[in-house]
Chain A
Amino acid sequence: MLPNFSPDSVGRVTPQTASFTEPLALDCGRLLNGYDLVYETYGTLNADHSNAVMICHALSGDHHVAGYHENADLNKPGWWDNGIGPGKPMDTREFFVVCCNNLGGCKGSTGPTAINPDTRKPYGPDFPIVTVRDWVLSQARLADRLGIQQWAAVIGGSLGGMQAMQWAIAFPERVRHALVIAAAPRLSAMNIAFNEVARQAILSDPDFHHGHYYDFGVVPRRGLMLARMLGHITYLSEEGMRAKFGRELREGKPNFNFDTEFEVESYLRHQGHAFVDRFDANTYLLITKTLDYFDPAADFDSDLSAAFHRALARFLVISFTSDWRFAPARSREIVQALVRAGREVSYAEIPSAYGHDAFLMPIPLYHDLLRNYLMRVAREVNGHAA
């Protein structure tokens, strides 16, 4: 029996795979001889292929943005299901939405867990560290494959927002609009510091085996779990954590030991455990480096506005008040550079206690802005009132 999906859900979705045989020259100097990208699409591409929207995922995301996979838990739709669907801000009645699992990922696109054709073993730690620019190049080939010359919009939160920026810089004529949400022009020393602690947690796990843990039939569970727990703290805000967990003791009284006593401990351990079962440690290491290296201004004498000078897209930049991972001030750096470059940009700072995670929450003002912005985009490309 078919489950009853809500009318604003994209419903049942099936991932597809695109294989590329042309080698990809990576920023690190290595050549990737062919690769697969797993992706999903929702909605219908219009006649002149102008209504395609690319969603870029963040650190732990993947191609499954909306709807439900076959036999999936109906409580677990894609990671941005509240934003994508018929009548939602990213309206699939107007747009053809595309999202792929990025290169180096662990959800089906070529990455550390994939088999290296040269060795017939998983790449593991030998998979090259890819950059945001590499990702965008690989995504551009997917766009070519799908017959999409220009995206109506490239949209992403956090590391996804960095890809949206990179798209606008690397392929000016292929991006009409770039929506850069809860992002930063590059990581701060503190951002890198958190990433480094996460990496050390994984690297120092005895089960890591220099990244060759697949050969030993183990995974560095403790390390990956710690990395995720640490990450989760940076995704929340102090006020959000206080509201959600307070200092509640699970058993109502202290036990004077190191078991899980406070609710927040229980939450973090649960998040850590759940993550280990769905994510690969080598991919986690790799993507934290991708984040660290991102710096589109680097090629322009550290002048971000010079990087944006070539962009043709119109920008919508959004930040969230309690986000301290990529604080509003970081988004304002982006806006300032865009203004100095004379680009079209709008910016909003959304009041929220959700911290960095806010970009995935259906906050009314946030979704109102997305909806209204994208309604205009839809009018531009589909030529009718949305």
Chain B
Amino acid sequence: MRPELDLISEWIRPGARILDLGCGDGALLAYLRKHRQVSGYGLEIDPANLVQCIRAGVNVIHADLEAGLADFGDSSFDYVIMTQTLQAVKHTEALLDEMLRVGRQGIVTFPNFGFWRCRRQIALHGLMPVVKTLPYQWYDTPNVHLFTLRDFEELCRRKRIDILQRMVLDHAHQPRSWPRWWPNLLGEIALYRLGRA
């Protein structure tokens, strides 16, 4: 996870105000606070994670992302971040809208379903893929929406969301040079910085 934190951190302006949707144990916020002097909050639904955030001194607000971000005002954050969460929410579109309403920019990371190993498992074996970035069986998974880089970029185009920056990583969250040419085939994790005019 560290390289991913690093990469996100590079996109963040020092001193920014951050909202981290599905912040888990607060690692990203703690990292950004240390390296980018950010302020802000994480939203989290899992009680065990709340305790971890509190223990780490990270501001965490107990919330269900599916209910939207009505408690937060327009453009009240510099960045709204969603790492490895978009594929696990039901109201994908609504949440993207909320993200770019509350934040001036959005940062999203997700596992790429278009990764060649996923494609091979379906094409060759006719089975739902189980790979390092998508390690769950179809009947026991928190993920409810699986999509590829192209799917996501298509959605952004349709919703008039601007892609400001993109990066693809391997399963160890390392940036590699080769996925640059066939990101949707070779990238395992996608990072996007989004905006809306």
Contact = CB atoms under 8 A, between A and B. Distances in A.
Given A345-B61, A348-B62, A369-B50, A376 B41 contact: no
Contacts of B72: 336, 339
B60 interface: yes
A18 to B, nearest CB: 34
Interface string B13-39: 000010000000000000000000001
Given A339-B41, A376-B55, A348 B71 contact: no
Interface in B45-75: 47, 50-51, 53-55, 57-62, 71-73
A372 B54 contact: yes
Given A339-B41, A346-B58, 17 more contacts: A316-B54, A332-B71, A335-B61, A336-B72, A339-B61, A339-B72, A344-B39, A345-B59, A345-B61, A347-B61, A348-B50, A348-B60, A349-B62, A365-B51, A369-B50, A372-B55, A373-B54
18 contacts: A316-B54, A332-B71, A335-B61, A340-B73, A342-B17, A342-B39, A346-B41, A346-B50, A346-B59, A348-B47, A348-B60, A348-B62, A351-B47, A365-B51, A369-B51, A372-B54, A373-B54, A376-B55
A316 B55 CA distance: 12
Interface string A340-373: 1010111111010000000000000100110011
Contacts of B73: 340
Nearest to A349: B62
Main DSSP-derived SS at the B contact region: mixed
A182 to B, nearest CB: 14
A342 B39 CA distance: 9
A52 B72 CA distance: 34
A349 B39 CA distance: 22
A372 B72 CA distance: 26
Interface residues of A, number: 21
Interface size range of chain B in the complex: 10 to 19
Q: Is the contact region of chain A dominated by helix, strand, or loop, or is it mixed?
A: helix
Nearest to B17: A342
B76 interface: yes
A373 B72 CA distance: 24
Contact of B51 (A316, A342, A368): A368
Nearest to A336: B71
Contacts of B47: 348, 351, 365
Contact of B54 (A335, A340, A342, A369): A369
A335 B51 contact: no
A327 B71 CA distance: 16
B100 to A, nearest CB: 18
Nearest to B70: A336
A346 B71 contact: no
A358 B50 CA distance: 19
A368 B55 CA distance: 10
A8 to B, nearest CB: 20
Interface in A302-356: 316, 332, 335-336, 339-340, 342, 344-349, 351
